[in-house]
């Protein structure tokens, strides 16, 4: 299963999303509930 193609993959893409969230006028909350790597839960 791939992520959202509009977001991109990897560490740099995640950093870009986090920077964009910090620049918003309204604060956002992000809670990571499940992470998959190579089809395994980590």
pLDDT at residue 2, rounded to an integer: 62
Record the pTM: 0.46
Cα-Cα-Cα-Cα dihedral sign, residues 7, 22, 32, 42: positive
pLDDT for 1: 47
pLDDT in tens, the chain (42 residues): 466 777 778 888 888 888 888 888 887 777 888 877 777 665
d(CA 21, CA 5): 18
pLDDT at 42: 57
């Amino acid at each position: 299963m791939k992520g959202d193609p509009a977001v991109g993959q990897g560490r740099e893409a995640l950093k870009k999303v986090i920077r964009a969230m910090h620049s918003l006028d309204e604060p956002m909350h992000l809670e990571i509930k499940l992470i998959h790597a190579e089809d395994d839960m980590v």
